[in-house]
Amino acid sequence: MAIRRNVPSATPSSIDSTRPRSPLPPRLSSPKPSMDRGNTPRNGPSSRPSTAEEEAGVYKKPWYASTCDRRSAEEAVTRSGKEGAYLVRKSSGQDPSQPYTLVVFYKGRVYNIPVRHIQASCQYALGREKTGEEVDKLNLLNYFKNNFIT
Protein backbone atom coordinates (compact mmCIF):
# COMPACT_ATOMS: atom_id res chain seq x y z
CA MET A 1 0.00 0.00 0.00
CA ALA A 2 1.56 3.31 -1.07
CA ILE A 3 1.38 6.29 1.25
CA ARG A 4 0.99 9.67 -0.44
CA ARG A 5 1.82 12.89 1.27
CA ASN A 6 1.88 16.49 0.10
CA VAL A 7 5.29 18.00 0.73
CA PRO A 8 5.18 21.79 1.08
CA SER A 9 8.40 23.76 0.94
CA ALA A 10 9.38 26.18 3.67
CA THR A 11 7.88 29.63 3.28
CA PRO A 12 9.17 33.00 4.49
CA SER A 13 6.30 33.14 6.98
CA SER A 14 7.73 30.05 8.70
CA ILE A 15 11.08 31.76 9.31
CA ASP A 16 11.61 33.68 12.55
CA SER A 17 12.01 37.34 11.58
CA THR A 18 14.80 37.84 14.15
CA ARG A 19 17.05 35.34 12.39
CA PRO A 20 19.11 36.19 9.33
CA ARG A 21 17.17 35.36 6.18
CA SER A 22 18.51 32.27 4.49
CA PRO A 23 16.74 29.70 2.35
CA LEU A 24 15.53 26.70 4.28
CA PRO A 25 15.45 23.26 2.71
CA PRO A 26 12.01 21.87 2.00
CA ARG A 27 10.83 19.66 4.81
CA LEU A 28 8.45 16.80 5.02
CA SER A 29 5.53 17.90 7.10
CA SER A 30 1.92 16.76 6.73
CA PRO A 31 1.29 14.73 9.77
CA LYS A 32 4.59 13.28 10.86
CA PRO A 33 5.36 10.35 8.58
CA SER A 34 4.87 7.41 10.89
CA MET A 35 5.36 4.96 8.03
CA ASP A 36 4.89 1.97 10.27
CA ARG A 37 2.99 0.33 7.38
CA GLY A 38 0.49 -1.18 9.80
CA ASN A 39 3.03 -3.23 11.74
CA THR A 40 2.19 -1.51 15.02
CA PRO A 41 -1.24 -0.42 16.23
CA ARG A 42 -1.63 3.36 16.08
CA ASN A 43 -2.14 3.58 19.84
CA GLY A 44 0.58 1.02 20.53
CA PRO A 45 3.93 1.58 22.21
CA SER A 46 5.60 3.12 19.14
CA SER A 47 3.11 6.02 19.10
CA ARG A 48 4.34 7.21 22.50
CA PRO A 49 7.62 9.10 22.77
CA SER A 50 10.52 7.37 24.47
CA THR A 51 12.40 9.14 27.24
CA ALA A 52 15.31 9.67 24.83
CA GLU A 53 12.98 11.27 22.26
CA GLU A 54 11.52 13.57 24.90
CA GLU A 55 14.97 14.54 26.19
CA ALA A 56 16.22 15.22 22.66
CA GLY A 57 13.13 17.34 21.96
CA VAL A 58 12.46 15.66 18.61
CA TYR A 59 9.18 13.87 19.14
CA LYS A 60 6.79 16.69 18.16
CA LYS A 61 8.92 18.14 15.38
CA PRO A 62 7.33 17.98 11.89
CA TRP A 63 10.54 16.56 10.40
CA TYR A 64 10.78 13.64 12.87
CA ALA A 65 9.51 10.22 11.79
CA SER A 66 9.81 8.05 14.88
CA THR A 67 8.74 4.69 13.43
CA CYS A 68 9.99 5.20 9.88
CA ASP A 69 12.48 2.60 8.66
CA ARG A 70 15.35 3.37 6.27
CA ARG A 71 13.54 2.23 3.13
CA SER A 72 10.35 4.17 3.90
CA ALA A 73 12.35 7.29 4.75
CA GLU A 74 14.28 7.09 1.49
CA GLU A 75 11.05 6.60 -0.45
CA ALA A 76 9.44 9.59 1.28
CA VAL A 77 12.22 12.08 0.52
CA THR A 78 12.63 10.74 -3.03
CA ARG A 79 8.90 10.96 -3.67
CA SER A 80 8.93 14.59 -2.53
CA GLY A 81 11.22 15.40 -5.46
CA LYS A 82 12.29 18.54 -3.60
CA GLU A 83 15.98 19.35 -3.45
CA GLY A 84 17.04 19.36 0.21
CA ALA A 85 13.94 17.54 1.49
CA TYR A 86 14.80 15.83 4.76
CA LEU A 87 13.54 13.97 7.79
CA VAL A 88 15.06 12.48 10.91
CA ARG A 89 14.33 8.88 11.88
CA LYS A 90 15.45 6.53 14.61
CA SER A 91 18.60 4.69 13.55
CA SER A 92 18.22 1.04 12.65
CA GLY A 93 20.94 -0.12 15.04
CA GLN A 94 20.73 -0.33 18.80
CA ASP A 95 23.77 1.90 19.44
CA PRO A 96 22.82 4.61 21.98
CA SER A 97 25.69 6.78 20.73
CA GLN A 98 23.95 6.99 17.30
CA PRO A 99 20.24 7.29 18.08
CA TYR A 100 19.09 9.04 14.90
CA THR A 101 19.73 9.28 11.17
CA LEU A 102 19.21 12.37 9.03
CA VAL A 103 17.79 11.39 5.62
CA VAL A 104 18.36 14.03 2.91
CA PHE A 105 17.40 14.17 -0.78
CA TYR A 106 20.19 16.03 -2.61
CA LYS A 107 20.98 16.16 -6.34
CA GLY A 108 18.76 13.20 -7.09
CA ARG A 109 20.31 10.98 -4.41
CA VAL A 110 19.34 10.03 -0.87
CA TYR A 111 21.88 10.35 1.92
CA ASN A 112 21.55 8.71 5.34
CA ILE A 113 23.73 10.71 7.73
CA PRO A 114 24.30 9.35 11.24
CA VAL A 115 23.35 11.67 14.10
CA ARG A 116 25.62 10.95 17.06
CA HIS A 117 24.91 11.71 20.70
CA ILE A 118 27.98 13.02 22.52
CA GLN A 119 27.23 12.05 26.09
CA ALA A 120 30.00 14.12 27.71
CA SER A 121 28.57 17.38 26.35
CA CYS A 122 24.93 16.26 25.93
CA GLN A 123 25.07 17.42 22.30
CA TYR A 124 24.39 15.89 18.89
CA ALA A 125 26.71 15.84 15.88
CA LEU A 126 26.38 14.72 12.27
CA GLY A 127 28.53 12.02 10.72
CA ARG A 128 30.97 9.54 12.18
CA GLU A 129 33.39 10.56 14.93
CA LYS A 130 36.84 11.49 13.65
CA THR A 131 40.13 10.66 15.37
CA GLY A 132 41.06 13.46 17.77
CA GLU A 133 37.64 15.05 17.49
CA GLU A 134 37.00 15.11 21.23
CA VAL A 135 38.42 18.35 22.56
CA ASP A 136 39.04 18.95 26.23
CA LYS A 137 36.99 22.05 27.08
CA LEU A 138 39.50 23.35 29.62
CA ASN A 139 42.35 23.14 27.11
CA LEU A 140 40.17 24.83 24.51
CA LEU A 141 39.35 27.71 26.88
CA ASN A 142 43.01 28.09 27.82
CA TYR A 143 43.98 28.16 24.15
CA PHE A 144 41.58 31.00 23.35
CA LYS A 145 42.63 32.96 26.45
CA ASN A 146 46.10 33.17 24.92
CA ASN A 147 45.21 33.20 21.22
CA PHE A 148 42.61 35.78 20.34
CA ILE A 149 40.40 35.42 17.31
CA THR A 150 41.04 38.32 14.95
DSSP 27: B
Mean pLDDT of 41-58: 56
Report the range out of 8-12, 37-41, 124-128 with the highest average pLDDT: 124-128
Of the pLDDT bands very low, low, confident and very high (cuts 50, 70, 90), residue 57 is: confident
**Per-residue pLDDT tens for 30-48?**
444 444 333 333 333 445 5
Of the pLDDT bands very low, low, confident and very high (cuts 50, 70, 90), residue 150 is: very low
DSSP E strands, the chain? 64-65, 86-90, 100-106, 109-118, 123-126
Mean pLDDT score of the chain, rounded to an integer?
68
CB burial of residue 141 (10 Å; 0-12, 13-18, 19+): exposed
Q: CA 123, 129, 132, 134: dihedral to nearest 10 degrees?
A: 10
Question: What top-level class would CATH report for the domain 12-146?
Answer: alpha beta
**Which pLDDT value is given to residue 77?**
94
**Which pLDDT value is given to residue 37?**
32
